[in-house]
Amino acid sequence: MPFPLEPEGARRFAEGLDTIVVVEEKRALIETQLKDVLYAAPDAPRIDGRSPYDAGHHPADGG
């Protein structure tokens, strides 16, 4: 994944998606960039990343 994230490619990737799950180690680099690029875009998908899972709410655990 290139850094910084290429905005147009990210928009094309997100088209038609309901949710994007971002799995990263340590820092939320891609998650933050995706949120910035897709903010207020029509039909933007939900972006799940580090923050919802820190509290133990991981979909695989039923949470």
C-alpha distances in Å from residue 9, one per residue of 1, 13, 20, 54:
11, 6, 14, 28
Share of the chain above pLDDT 70, in %: 75
> Is the residue at 62 inside a domain?
no
Residues 17-33: tens digit of each pLDDT: 999 999 888 888 889 99
> Is the residue at 29 inside a domain?
yes
> Is the residue at 30 inside a domain?
yes
> Is the residue at 61 inside a domain?
no
What is the span of the domain harbouring residue 23?
7-51
How confident is the model at residue 59, as a pLDDT?
53
What is the number of structural domains in the chain? 1
Q: Residue 62 pLDDT more than 60?
A: no
The answer to whether the pTM exceeds 0.85 is: no
